[in-house]
């Protein structure tokens, strides 16, 4: 695929360049609680603006139902982008309507505009190819070139990600080039030992990637809510913990396969339990205790890996040459259940290997728990996209950028 450097070499002064970013930031009302995705696209936007392009930044935010919804407006993201750029950023209140057309027409060389949430138009996410392509053509009318830099959306077959590149000369931005380079290090000529830590709530979300990693990784460590389906498959009682009974046969098969392949598939040896789920807003102290994984009491809910497991997992990660981590080890949003996730994050910091935080909740945890982002080899902006790449799937947004 062509890169933004090739576009810059061709010259962009006076050209309208459409940048498909990922500004899908978490909001509390109109307040951005984590601006990591906005900061991730800054190198691309800055390079284009400094070279004299008229930059049109577009993204989705949340899951509006194909119509305008003030709760999902990109206005806060546009304002934050302007703060980070140290320059005024124009904001269009629609996607391809009068506001978008006039805002883009009013740009001078080197200026930046953000258009409203792409998902306010039903054509963005439509499963109807003609409807999606029609919206892509309307977006293409705003620009002379396309730069794909929204890695968090490249696994979606959406108009601005998949159809629009076919309408314009297209290039990969700096973020996508970086993300793809990192993922290749996790799939091609991997330095060993290769350790993977997987967490999150549902084991069903991770089955496909576990299936692929059983042939590639040396160690796979399991945490989060998904661990209880594995523990149940081992014959342990799991109290009232999150459990996907229908996935037990698949999990059992993976445990057997890992043993045959000589892959360490490591489960928690202890867990932190509580009588109920904590209030994540109040964050008040709760009744909780650590128990052995094979001795969970009835009526107790597992909410984190225990301290012995945190120590065990740290040892399995710190001496690895390559580490990939996706998914928190517990309910990290509450201080009583954040220690397992902290232990894994600290192990990556302490490792001399190549460490990758696989986006999504893992990236949010790193920031929430106060870790220095520069202490990790790479923090991905796209959890779902990263996992699908590791599963071996073709990602529509990357395929569309190929010539």
Q: What is the mean pLDDT of residues 247-270?
A: 97
- Burial class of 13 by CB neighbour count within 10 A (0 to 12, 13 to 18, 19+): exposed
The residue whose two tokens read 């076919």 is 166
Q: Are 109 and 53 in contact (CB under 8 A)?
A: yes
Q: Residues 210, 152: one domain?
A: no
Q: Residues 334, 202: one domain?
A: yes
Q: Residues 97, 232: one domain?
A: no
Q: Binding site annotation covers 215?
A: no
Residue 396 placed within a domain: no
pLDDT surpassing 80 at residue 302: yes
Residues facing residue 194 across a β-bridge: 322
pLDDT surpassing 90 at residue 299: yes
Q: Residues 326, 263: one domain?
A: yes
Q: Which of 126, 149, 176 marks a domain boundary?
A: 176
Residue 397 placed within a domain: no
Confidence label for 85 from pLDDT (cuts 50, 70 and 90): very high
Q: Binding site annotation covers 299?
A: no
Give the number of domains in the chain: 2
Q: Binding site annotation covers 192?
A: no
Q: Binding site annotation covers 306?
A: no
pLDDT surpassing 80 at residue 3: yes
Q: Binding site annotation covers 74?
A: no
Q: Residues 300, 385: one domain?
A: yes
Residue 24 placed within a domain: yes
Q: Residues 213, 355: one domain?
A: yes
> What pLDDT sits at residue 122?
97
Residue 186 placed within a domain: no
DSSP letters spanning 16-31: EEEEE------EETTE
Residue 239: count of CB within 10 angstroms of its CB = 19
Q: Binding site annotation covers 142?
A: no
Q: Binding site annotation covers 37?
A: yes
pLDDT surpassing 90 at residue 383: no
Q: Residues 112, 215: one domain?
A: no
DSSP letters spanning 60-100: --S---SS--GGG-SHHHHHHHHHHHTS-EEEESSSSSHHH
Q: Binding site annotation covers 150?
A: no
> What pLDDT sits at residue 34?
87
Confidence label for 94 from pLDDT (cuts 50, 70 and 90): very high
Q: Residues 12, 53: one domain?
A: yes
- CA-nearest of 85, 80, 94 to 27 is 80
Distance CA(280)–CA(81), nearest Å, equals 29
Q: What is the mean pLDDT of residues 251-261?
A: 97
DSSP letters spanning 296-314: PPTT-EEEEE-HHHHHHHH
Residue 278 placed within a domain: yes
Q: Binding site annotation covers 121?
A: no
Q: Residues 147, 235: one domain?
A: no
- CA-nearest of 82, 75, 94 to 27 is 75
> What pLDDT sits at residue 215?
85
Highest averaged pLDDT of the listed ranges 117-126, 179-188, 356-365: 117-126
- CA-nearest of 265, 37, 308 to 152 is 37
Residue 50 placed within a domain: yes
Catalytic center residues: 37, 202, 360, 384
Q: Binding site annotation covers 327?
A: no
CATH of the domain at 28: 3.40.50.1260
pLDDT surpassing 90 at residue 263: yes
Q: What is the mean pLDDT of residues 389-393?
A: 92
Range of the domain at 23: 4-176
Digit-coded pLDDT (tens) for 306-332: 999 999 999 999 999 999 999 999 999
> What pLDDT sits at residue 338?
97
Q: Which of 176, 205, 232 marks a domain boundary?
A: 176
Q: Residues 167, 238: one domain?
A: no
Looking only at the bridges linking them, the beta strands covering 170-172 and 145-148 are parallel
Which phi and psi angles does 8 have, rounded to 5°? Answer: -65, -40
Cis status of the peptide bond prior to 211, with omega within 30 of 0 = no
Residue 401 placed within a domain: no
Q: Which of 141, 176, 211 marks a domain boundary?
A: 176
- pTM beyond cutoff 0.85: yes
> What pLDDT sits at residue 148?
98
Q: What is the mean pLDDT of the chain?
A: 96
The residue whose two tokens read 């909740």 is 361
Sheet holding 16-20, edge to edge: 89-92, 112-115, 54-58, 16-20, 145-148, 170-172
Torsion sign, CA atoms 258, 260, 262, 267: positive
> What pLDDT sits at residue 2?
97
Q: Binding site annotation covers 326?
A: no
pLDDT surpassing 80 at residue 403: no
Backbone Cα Rg of the chain = 22
- Which long-range contacts does 130-139 make (Cβ < 8 Å, 24+ apart)? 132/157, 132/158, 132/159, 132/162, 132/163, 133/159, 133/163, 135/96, 135/159, 135/163, 136/160, 136/163, 136/164, 136/166, 136/167, 137/167, 138/95, 138/96, 139/18, 139/58, 139/95, 139/96, 139/164, 139/167
Q: Binding site annotation covers 257?
A: no
Q: Residues 380, 260: one domain?
A: yes
Measure CA 84 to chain center: 21
Q: Residues 136, 10: one domain?
A: yes
- Burial class of 38 by CB neighbour count within 10 A (0 to 12, 13 to 18, 19+): buried
Digit-coded pLDDT (tens) for 124-179: 999 999 999 999 999 999 999 999 999 999 999 999 999 999 999 999 999 999 99
Distance CA(330)–CA(337), nearest Å, equals 6
Sheet holding 289-292, edge to edge: 289-292, 270-274, 301-305
Residue 403 placed within a domain: no
Q: Are 311 and 184 in contact (CB under 8 A)?
A: no
DSSP letters spanning 164-214: GGGGS-EEE-HHHHHHHHHHHHHHSS--SSEEEEE-SS-GGGTHHHHHHHT
Q: Binding site annotation covers 333?
A: yes
> What pLDDT sits at residue 45?
98
> What pLDDT sits at residue 66?
95
């Amino acid at each position: 695929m062509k890169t933004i450097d090739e576009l810059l070499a061709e010259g962009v002064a006076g050209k309208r360049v459409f940048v498909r970013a990922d500004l899908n930031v978490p909001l509390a009302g109109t307040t951005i609680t984590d601006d990591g995705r906005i900061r991730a696209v800054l190198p691309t936007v800055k390079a284009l603006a400094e070279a004299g392009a008229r930059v049109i930044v577009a993204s989705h935010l949340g899951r509006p139902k194909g119509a305008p919804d003030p709760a999902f407006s990109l206005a806060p993201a546009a304002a934050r982008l302007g703060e980070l750029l140290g320059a005024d950023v124009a904001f269009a209140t629609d996607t391809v309507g009068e506001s978008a057309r006039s805002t883009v027409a009013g740009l001078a060389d080197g200026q930046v505009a953000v258009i409203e949430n792409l998902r306010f138009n039903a054509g963005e996410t439509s499963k109807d190819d003609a409807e999606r392509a029609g919206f892509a053509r309307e977006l293409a009318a705003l620009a002379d070139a396309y730069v794909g830099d929204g890695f968090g959306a490249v696994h979606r077959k959406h108009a601005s990600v998949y159809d629009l590149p076919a309408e314009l000369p297209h290039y990969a931005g700096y973020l996508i080039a970086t993300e793809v380079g990192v993922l290749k290090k996790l799939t091609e000529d991997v330095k060993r030992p290769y350790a993977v830590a997987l967490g999150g709530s549902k084991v069903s979300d991770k089955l496909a990637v576990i299936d692929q990693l059983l042939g590639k990784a040396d160690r796979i460590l399991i945490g989060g809510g998904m661990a209880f389906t594995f523990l149940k498959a081992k014959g342990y009682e799991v109290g009232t913990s999150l459990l996907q009974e229908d996935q037990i046969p698949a999990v059992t098969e993976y445990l057997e396969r890992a043993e045959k392949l000589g892959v360490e598939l490591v489960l928690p040896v202890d867990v932190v339990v509580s009588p109920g789920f904590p209030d994540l807003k109040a964050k008040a102290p709760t009744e909780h205790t650590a128990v052995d994984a094979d001795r969970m009491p009835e009526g107790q809910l597992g909410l984190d890996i225990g301290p012995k497991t945190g120590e065990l997992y740290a040892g399995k990660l710190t001496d690895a040459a390559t580490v990939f981590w996706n998914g928190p080890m517990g309910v990290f949003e509450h201080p009583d259940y954040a220690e397992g996730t902290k232990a894994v994050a600290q192990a990556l910091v302490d490792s001399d290997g190549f460490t990758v935080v696989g986006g999504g909740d893992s990236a949010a945890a790193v920031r929430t728990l106060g870790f220095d982002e520069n202490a990790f080899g790479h923090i991905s902006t796209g959890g779902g996209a990263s996992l699908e790449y590791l599963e071996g799937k073709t990602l529509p947004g990357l395929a569309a950028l190929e010539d």
